[in-house]
Structures are given as C-alpha cells and as structure tokens.
C-alpha cells in the first residue's frame, strides 16, 4: 500500500523527505535551511502564483479594488466603535495601507491554494490545518506585516481558512490544536516619543535627509490658507475589477484589524477648515496613530503632499500600494521623474536633500568591490514587480554565479552586504559567505562603503542605485529583467546604461565586464559616454542641483 504523502503549509517537520512531503512553498524551510541540505533542489513546491507581469497587474487591480470596496463597511464598524461620524476621506487614508496589504495577501494565498488543488487534488494527501477558532491579533499595521503576512504560523491559519471550504475529497484534514497569539505592544511614551510627535505635527515634518532647521523653514512656507485647486484623486476612482473569492475573506480580515485602529481616540465629527497643505512622513504607513491624525486633517480639508523616500518609485512596472496611497494625493514630490505609467499621480520633481548631501562625493578609499543584496521575503506581503518566492531562489543562486565568475584577485577585494533579517527571508549573508571564504561581510554604514569603494555592484534596483548615481560612485548593475520588471520609462533609461556597460541582464555578463575594467575602474567610469549616461539617469531619477536646494523647495511649497 502506498504511503499517503503530507502537504506542508507552514514549517517543514524534522522527518520531512522529498518522497513523503510536498511543500506549499519555500517558506517551509525558513529558519531550517541548515537542517535540510539542498532543500531547494530536492523537494517539490507549489508553483509561484503569477505566470507573468500582466497576471501580477491583474491581481493588484483585483486586490486593491476589493480593499477600496470594503472601506465603507469597515468605516461603519469602526465609526460605531468610536462613536464617530467621519467622512470617507478620513477612512480612505486610515484603512487603506493595512487593508490593501491584507487583501493582496489573501489574493496571493488563494491563488496558491488553487494551484495546489489543480496539481495535487486527486492524490491522497494528509494536510495539517489550524482550526478556525485560533486567535491572532496585531497591535498595529506594522505588526500585521511582521507577525502576520510574513509569519509562518499566521499564514498556516490563513491557508487553512482558504483551503477548508474547498478541500478535495482525496485530501484528509489533520487539525492541530488552536493557537492564540497577540503580537506587539502599545508604543511607549516619554520625551523621545513626544519630540517625535511634535516634529511629525509640523506642516513639513522631519524627513530623512532634511535638517530640523529645514523642516521649520519649510513649515513656515506652508502656513496660511491655500488658494490653488485641490488635486487629490479620490481613492474610489481607482477601483477596477473585483476578485472572486472561494472562501469568506472576513474570516481573516476582521480578526486582523490592528488594535491601534480601534484604540486611538477620535472626535465625533470634524469641521471643515480653510484649505491648508501639509507634508506627510513615510512613517504614516506603519504608525497608525500618526496616520489617523493626518487623516483627521485631510477630513477637515487639508491637502496632503508625500515625498519620495527611496528607490523603486518611478521604476517598477507593477506597483500595488504607492500609487493608491501616495501618488494620488494633492502632490507627490519625486526625485526627478514626471511620469510612472500607467499610474495616475500629481508629480512634482524636486532635488531631494538626501541626494543633495552626497552629490559627487565618491572617492575610492578602500579598493573594495561592494555587492549589495535585496530583501528576500518568501511570504509575499505586497504584490509588485519583484521576484516571487521561487524566483528568490534563482536570485540568490545568481549571487553565487556572479562571485564565482570573478577572477580570484577581484573576488579577494569583495565585500557582501546582506539585507536585514526578515521574518520569512532566505538565509542571506551566511549562505553567501559559506560558499566564498575570500569574500568578507560588509559591516557598518552602507553609505560610507558606497562613497569609499572602488566599485559598487547592485543585483536589484532600489534606493542605493539612486544614491550611488548621485554620488558618482562607479556602479555595475545586473538582474533578471523578467523578475525585476520595470516600466517603459525606466526600460529606456536602463538601455542607455547598458550601452556603456553599467547595466547587464546576467551575473556572468556583469562579472565579465568587471574583469575588463578592474585595472582602471575610474578610467571607465569617468569616460564621457559613461558620465553622460549617468547624468541622464540622475536628471530623471536622482536629481541634484549645483547650489542650495532651499530656494527651489520654498518656491514649490508656496505653490502647493
């Protein structure tokens, strides 16, 4: 008699073998890679859910549309809880960042369940499930990401809720004991918290790269009523196609509402004020109390301005959160670009202080090649143009391909900078360094390494790319264009970088180019074709200005 195999939705058990266990995804080996050598090639996994960028875009549209459609109902629930009658603008801003991530997670997980049923639905399987009476809760939206969307235990419960109503007849549910887990604690008070709250309350709050003095001066430029038209795009206008659920989404959505959204004190009503404008710090994504204070201002008629705070803006072809939360506001300040098709937005290009402070400041002081890695989360918490979980395995293997292709004397100068450890991430730094004894870990300030290295190598696009271009750091790029999809504007800009040897489609091509230029990196980088390509990139994605940025910002803010 053939032994029934087990479908693992969460963590690979100690006795798991390729013959006895199927794995829902590579996250089953998070934290257990050392216990299962070569797990990534020996075990069978469910497929990545989206076969193309177009499928990702359709999934984003459906998840966002469902999130937008649910805001009125959740507003009624929370409004009744608070005894508050607040307008739609308040609830759009308050609920959207958490709710859309929840809906994107559900869309991705449902697609995985459907694929597993399609592949293995006729095979007799044992499927360990968590029961419906588990209790999970999250202090705030940030905890929902860390201890929810990226957590194996919570995802086991989510998969169980999605799978149970459609469990194939050949599968046998094996229910585990109920789990109770409450994640996070309320933020502490004290002088530091008070100072942060006061700085965030400024019309121009503390923004990374800008000094406190700049925040105060720019805040003065925003004082007084505004006479220009409010250009905010209503969130409801961005709703598109609705998804088809094969389970009850509220079984997961309602228990996942962050406690902070229920505990923050709210006024019963908000009175309209004369129109004003304020800038919003990116902390509003995860600081629910701050976001709700901003939302109260918006409900009273204040226009909101968001500022680009890193890379990927203007680049990625599929984007699930930023266009619907930041781009649609009264103004979105970019690092140079004025279009990010197909997304609507009110774009205002300005030279950012973070770039201005490091412009043209590179000087080779270490002779090092610095390779910088990206986040490799195996449990997706947002849908966009980055690798899916199984593609992250290829991405990590490409690091080894790149380093192995370097000549020994070049690799001996290499430092590797892994990403921060995440709740569901692949083993990063140790995995690379075990394979290459002559490569050292890049410790300390990444900015200092970037500004003082001989050559920077990036295997993804992100904030460091824009900083390096502004600093005039010699840089080589490589990534799989099918896994790191970019929009048409960025594709054209990357083609110009590729023509001069900055950008490559494979790690082998990047390594071969580095072998050629290593004896005289500066000679290659300072050549006019390379510098012109860099200047063109900076004009679009890493804008700086020869003089002070203050006058430019003051003029722009007064017009908003």
Q: Would you list the DSSP string of 103-149? A: HHHHHHHHHHHHHHHHHHTTS-EEEEE--TT-EEEESSHHHHIIIII
Tokens of 294: 């901003």
CA separation for the pair 132, 116 (Å, rounded): 21
Tell me the CATH architecture of domain 369-541: 3-Layer(aba) Sandwich (3.40)
Tokens of 197: 């709250």
Tens-binned pLDDT, residue by residue, of the chain (560 aa): 578 999 999 999 999 999 999 999 999 999 999 999 999 999 999 999 999 999 999 999 999 999 999 999 999 999 999 999 999 999 999 999 999 999 999 999 999 999 999 999 999 999 999 999 999 999 999 999 999 999 999 999 999 999 999 999 999 999 999 999 999 888 777 888 888 899 999 999 999 999 999 999 999 999 988 889 999 999 999 999 999 999 999 999 999 999 999 999 999 999 999 999 999 999 999 999 999 999 999 999 999 999 999 999 999 999 999 999 999 999 999 999 999 999 999 999 999 999 999 999 999 999 999 999 999 999 988 999 999 999 999 999 999 999 999 999 999 999 999 998 888 999 999 999 999 999 999 999 999 999 999 999 999 999 999 999 999 999 999 999 999 999 999 999 999 999 999 999 999 999 999 999 999 999 999 999 999 999 999 999 999 999 999 999 999 999 99
Nearest Cα to Cα of residue 538 among 490, 469, 477: 469
Residues 6+ positions from 476 with CB-CB distance below 8 Å: 455, 456, 457, 458, 501, 502, 504, 510, 513, 514
Distance of CA 291 to the CA centre of its chain: 18
Q: Would residue 420 be called left, alpha or beta, if left means φ above 0 and alpha means ψ between -120 and 50 degrees?
A: beta
Report the C-alpha dihedral over residues 267, 269, 273, 275, rounded to 10 degrees: 90
Question: In 10 A of CB 559, how many CB atoms?
Answer: 12
Q: What is the pTM of this model?
A: 0.96
Nearest Cα to Cα of residue 25 among 36, 39, 15, 4: 39
The residue ranges of every structural domain in the chain are 5-42, 191-239+265-352+548-558, 369-541
- Would you say 34 and 14 are in contact if contact means Cβ atoms under 8 Å apart? no
Three-class DSSP category at 235: helix
**Residue 353 to residues 3, 187, 356, 366, 547, Cα–Cα distance (Å):** 63, 29, 5, 26, 12
Half-sphere exposure of 468 (CA within 13 A, CB side): 27
């Amino acid at each position: 008699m053939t032994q029934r195999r087990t479908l693992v939705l969460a963590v690979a058990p100690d006795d798991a073998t390729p013959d006895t266990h199927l794995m829902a995804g590579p996250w089953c080996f998070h934290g257990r890679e050392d216990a299962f050598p070569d797990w990534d090639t020996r075990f069978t996994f469910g497929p990545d859910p989206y076969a193309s960028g177009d499928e990702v875009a359709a999934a984003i549209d459906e998840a966002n549309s469902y999130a937008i459609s649910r805001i009125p109902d959740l507003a009624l629930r929370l409004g009744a809880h608070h005894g508050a009658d607040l307008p739609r603008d308040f609830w759009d801003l308050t609920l959207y960042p958490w709710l859309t991530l929840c809906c994107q997670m559900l869309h991705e997980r449902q697609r995985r369940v459907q694929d597993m049923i399609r592949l293995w639905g006729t095979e007799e399987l044992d499927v360990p499930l968590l029961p419906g009476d588990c209790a999970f809760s999250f202090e705030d939206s940030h905890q929902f990401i860390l201890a929810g969307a990226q957590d194996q235990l919570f995802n086991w419960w989510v998969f169980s809720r999605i799978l149970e109503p459609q469990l194939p007849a050949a599968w046998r549910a094996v229910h585990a004991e109920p789990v109770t887990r409450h994640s996070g604690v309320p933020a502490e008070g004290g002088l530091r918290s008070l100072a942060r709250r006061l700085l965030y309350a400024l019309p121009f709050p503390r923004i990374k790269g800008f000094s406190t003095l700049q925040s105060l001066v720019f805040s003065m430029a925003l004082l007084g009523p505004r006479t220009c038209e409010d250009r905010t795009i209503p969130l409801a206008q961005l709703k598109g196609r609705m998804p088809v659920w094969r389970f009850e989404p509220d079984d997961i959505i309602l228990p996942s509402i962050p406690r902070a959204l229920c505990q923050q004190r709210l006024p019963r009503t908000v009175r309209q004020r004369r129109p004003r404008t304020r800038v919003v710090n990116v902390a509003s994504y995860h600081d629910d109390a701050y976001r709700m204070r901003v939302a109260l201002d918006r409900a009273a008629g204040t226009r909101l301005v968001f500022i680009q705070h890193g890379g990927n803006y203007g680049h990625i072809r599929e984007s699930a959160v930023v266009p619907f939360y930041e781009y649609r506001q009264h103004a979105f300040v970019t690092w140079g670009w004025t279009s990010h098709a197909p997304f609507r937005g009110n774009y205002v290009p300005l030279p950012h202080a973070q770039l201005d402070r490091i412009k043209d400041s590179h000087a080779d002081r270490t002779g090092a090649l610095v390779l910088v890695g990206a986040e490799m989360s195996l449990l997706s918490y947002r849908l966009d143009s980055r690798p899916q979980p199984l593609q992250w395995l290829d991405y990590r293997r490409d690091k080894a391909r790149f380093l192995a292709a370097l000549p020994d004397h070049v690799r001996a100068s290499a430092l590797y900078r892994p990403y921060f450890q995440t709740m569901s991430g692949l083993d990063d730094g140790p995995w690379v360094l075990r394979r290459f004894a002559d490569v050292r870990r890049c410790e300390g300030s990444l900015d200092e390494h970037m500004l003082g290295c001989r050559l920077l190598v990036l295997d993804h696009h992100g904030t460091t790319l824009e900083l390096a271009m502004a600093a005039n750091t010699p840089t080589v790029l490589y990534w799989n264009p099918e896994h790191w999809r970019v929009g048409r504007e960025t594709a054209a800009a990357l083609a110009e970088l590729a023509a001069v040897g900055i950008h490559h489609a494979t790690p082998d091509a990047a390594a071969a180019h580095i072998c050629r230029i290593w004896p005289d990196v500066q000679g290659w980088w300072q050549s006019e074709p390379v510098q012109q390509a860099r200047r063109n990139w900076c004009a679009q994605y890493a804008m700086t200005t020869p003089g002070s940025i203050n006058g430019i910002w003051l003029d722009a803010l007064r017009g908003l």
